[in-house]
Each structure stands twice: as C-alpha cells, then as structure tokens.
Structure 1
Amino acid sequence: MDSRLPEIDLVIFDCDGVLVDSEELSCRCLSEALGQAGIEMSTEQALELFLGRSTAAVIAYCRDLGRQLPADFLTDLARQVRETFGAQLKPISGVAALLADLRLPHCVASSSDLDRVSFSLELTGLANYFGRRLYTSQMVKHGKPAPDLFLHAAGRMGAEPRRTLVIEDSVSGVTAARAAGMRVWGFVGGSHYRSRDGGGLLRRAGANRVFASMTAFWTEG
C-alpha cells in the first residue's frame, strides 16, 4: 500500500479526460456526426449532455427526441473518433509519471467501449500501466451515473468499495462513484475545462476533492 493513501486499497481511473485529453476531441466528433444525421448540436452542448457517458446515452437522447439515427451511425462515429485520436490525442500531462510512481493496485473504468480505451492507452503510451485491468460500460447493465461499473471494477480487483478511490472528470462519473460508496476526486486538468467551472460542477456532484494537475495528485486539499 502507498503510505500517502493509507485508507485506500485500489485506485480506479476514468480514461477520457483523466488519462487522455480526449473529451473535447470526442465531443467534437459527436457534434459533427449528429449534424450529418440532421441533428444540430454544438461541441459545448455535447460536452454538457454526454461528458462521461456512453454512446447508449446518445442513442437514448435521440430516441427521446423522436429521431432515428442511421444504422451505421455508431460505426461511422467510431471511425471518425479513431482518425481524430490518431492525429491529435495526447496523454494528460504528468499522468505517466504519476502512474509510474503509484504503488497501489489500479485499473481503468470507462464509459467508452473497450476497443476505444485500449486504442487510446496504446496511442498515448499508457497501456503498460494497466495491462488487462480495463473495465467498460459494455460489461455492466447500467453505465454511469449508475454505480454498476465501479462496483464491477472493484469486485474484479478484489477491493472493497469503501477502500476504493476513483479519479473522475465528469458529473456522471462522480455521481456513480458516490453511489458505489467510494471516495472520489474530481480532475479538471483536461482541455474541456479550459473555459468551464469544472471544479464547481464536480464539487456539487459530491467530489471529495478537486485538483487540476497530476503533479498535484499527492497534495493535500
């Protein structure tokens, strides 16, 4: 156990916006894909509605609008995201050094599908820090903000929820972690929070702490 987190046996990292700086990129792709399907939505609106949520939430949203997406929508979106990530995706600054120094068991729990998470981590040089300890919304019935994914990840890792710390950047993720009975820190260092009060959002959702740089991970506050 790392002595700097004396009551924690497991750290669960969200992927998008915590390990890789992908949220603005992926929401821009979603905005463009929806526009091609005749549904106007800005990147900012996509961030407000779907940050930290799975594509199932996008499908449900469109269904509630009475709009049917093309059969190949998700396939086309995934291709567009992959191409954009391949050209522009970067790791969150300082996260590799943090992971290299982290002595606690750790894993990923993401609303993105497993292929995208694996691709993102490989592309940014972070894959070796997690191996196969990748858990996604595909593996549970209900994605974030339900607690299912975090409880699944902790169960697979053999950790009790009350001794698990979650690192999240979204309201839905913070809500899910709190519902799972876990401690949760909100991270606001991704580019999608450059012009938004991420700290206020995550604190109101129940984050036990908010920090903006991975170099401040061990700092009190």
Structure 2
Amino acid sequence: MSVLSAAILFDAILFDLDGVLVDSEGVSNVVLVRLMAEHGLIVSHAEFMARSVGKSFAALYSHLEADYGWTRPESFDAESDAALAESFLSVREVPGSAQTLAALREAGIPFAVASNSRRDRLDIKLQAAGLADAAGHSFDPSQVGGRGKPLPDLYLHAAAALGADIRRCLVIEDSPTGVWAGAAAGATVWGLLAGEHVHVGLDEQLTAAGATRLVHSHAELRQALGVENQAEMGKVTAG
C-alpha cells in the first residue's frame, strides 16, 4: 500500500494509548496487584492483566467485586493514585510508536489518541514516553460525559475533532473493549499485538471483537499503511 493509497483509504488514524503507544499495562498491573494484596485480594499478575487490559478502573473494580466479593477500602483510591502517578513516570513507548506518529505526520495523515485513561494519567504517560507532542490531539472520557470505551463516543469525538468521517478512520487497538468501541463507532479497526501485556489468545479475542486485521509491531503497522519510508527518512534526519 502506497502513502497515497493509505491517505485515500483513511481520513485519520485513531490510536488507543495503553499498550498501543505506551507500554503502561505492565506498570499499572504491578502496582495494583501489590496494593490489592495489601488489602486482602490475592490475584496473579497474569489473571489481573487479562481482566484489566482496556477496561476503565470503575469497570475493573466492579468486576472484581462481582467475581471475588472484594470491595476496595476507602483509602484505596488515594493510595493507588499516588502509586500509579509515580510508576507512570517510568513508562516507555511501545517500540516504534514515536516513529509511527512521526511518519504519519510526515505523510500528512491526521491522527489522534483516544484513551480510557484519566486526563492527568494520560498526560503523564505521553510525557514520560516522549510522545508529549501528541497531547494536543488526545482525548479522554471526561470529554464525552464519562462515556468511555466500549461505548463509541470517544472515537466519534476524536474523529469529529479532526474533522474526519469516522467511517473513513482507522482505529488501532489492543483490547476487545477498544475494538468494540471502534467498531461500534463505524471505523475500521486493526488490532496491534506489540505491547508487553500481549497474552496467548489475545489475537483471537481481537478478531472476535471486530478487528479486521492484526499487526504485530509498529514497523508492520507502518508498512501496512505505506509510511515506512517516512519513518526511515525521519531516523536519518534525526541522526
């Protein structure tokens, strides 16, 4: 696919954040599993990761209460806020994500970030991963009345903010929750399996949720979009 054909096919590219642009899922997993253990709920890192990826914290805690009968104590939110804020300072990009954004910018293809993350956490993670220049086109549930994924509102809002027809947008997601949101909005959705949280069976889950294509790295994504040459040019220029 050439750069021209990619631009014709898609008015804009809409990215999830966690696990797609920044490798934050593992960081938050460690913090929350430790804090929950301190407050009486023991779950493995693998089990918690499978439950939490793509979900809002409200939905996650609701599921934990339903499945384990565990209700977080009053002090939990304050403790987790402080611990997560500190841990997110060490978040790094999913390998190649900065190159992908730079290549899209060079090719003239608009993009935005649509994340279930809280606004302050979203900004911390973008800054820590060296992607702060994407913050100007980043959106969170507070901007759509709290109606985050799996509802379509966040992706519809992001497309409208870019002046793009959602039916001509490509959503890049790493969780069934996010894929459902993108598909419900009317976008084409691809699954990206590049973050450290990827587990056995996730590819099948993304496909079942509505992803029409799977890619396994940002390099493969750039190639599929026809912008790999722009990424290489950026590396040479930067060097």
TM-score by length of 2: 0.84
**Deviation string for 1:70-105 (max 9, x for gaps)?**
223222212212222324x21111111111110211
Q: What secondary structure does 1:3 align onto?
A: helix
Partner of residue 45, structure 1? 47
Q: Secondary structure at the match of 1:108?
A: strand
Identify which of 83, 87, 110 aligns with 1:84. 87
The structure with more radius of gyration: 2
Q: Select which of 191, 197, 207 maps to 1:186.
A: 191
| Shift in alpha-carbon separation, 1:199–1:58, aligned structure 2, 3 A | closer
**Residues 1:138 and 2:142 aligned together:** yes
Q: Select between 14-23 and 141-150 the one with higher mean Cα deviation.
A: 141-150
Measure how far apart 1:68 and its partner are. 2.9
Q: CA RMSD in A?
A: 1.9
User: Does residue 21 of structure 1 match 2:23?
Assistant: yes
TM alignment of 1:52-131, pairs within 5 A: 52-64=54-66, 66-87=69-90, 89-102=91-104, 103-128=108-133, 130-131=134-135
Name the CA shift for 1:76/1:9 in 2 (closer, same or farther; >3 Å).
same
TM-superposed CA distance for 1:159, in Å, is 1.6
Cα 1:30–1:121 change in 2 (3 A) is same
Aligned residue type for 2:203 = G
- Separation in 2, partners of 1:155, 1:56: 26
Shift of 1:186: 0.5
The equivalent residue for 1:198 is 202
Where does structure 2 lack aligned partners over 5 or more consecutive residues?
Answer: 226-239
2:223 paired residue number? 219
Match of 2:171 among 154, 166, 175: 166
CA distance in 1: counterparts of 2:77 and 2:5, whole angstroms: 42
CA distance in 2, matches of 1:154, 1:76: 35
Q: Any idea what the Cα deviations from partners look like across 1:7-64, whole Å, max 9, x if unmatched?
A: 2111111110011111122122222222222222222222222211111112322443
Q: Secondary structure at the match of 2:89?
A: helix
Indicate if the aligned counterparts of 2:100 and 2:222 stay in contact, CA closer than 8 A: no
User: Is the helix fraction higher in 1 or 2?
Assistant: 2
Bigger drift between 180-189 and 42-51 goes to 42-51
Distance (whole Å) between structure 2 residues aligned to residue 155 and residue 71 of structure 1: 38
> How many percent of aligned residue pairs carry the same amino acid?
36
Return the letter of the residue paired with 1:135: F
CA distance in 2, matches of 1:220, 1:92: 18
Q: Distance in 2 between matches of 1:138 and 1:196?
A: 32
Residue 220 of structure 1: how far off its partner (Å)? 4.2
User: Which of structure 1's runs of 4+ aligned residues deviate more than 6 A?
Assistant: none
Query: Structure 1: which amino acid aligns with 2:62?
Result: A
Aligned pair count reads 217
Partner of 2:235: none
**Whole-Å separation in 1 of the counterparts to 2:38 and 2:163:** 44
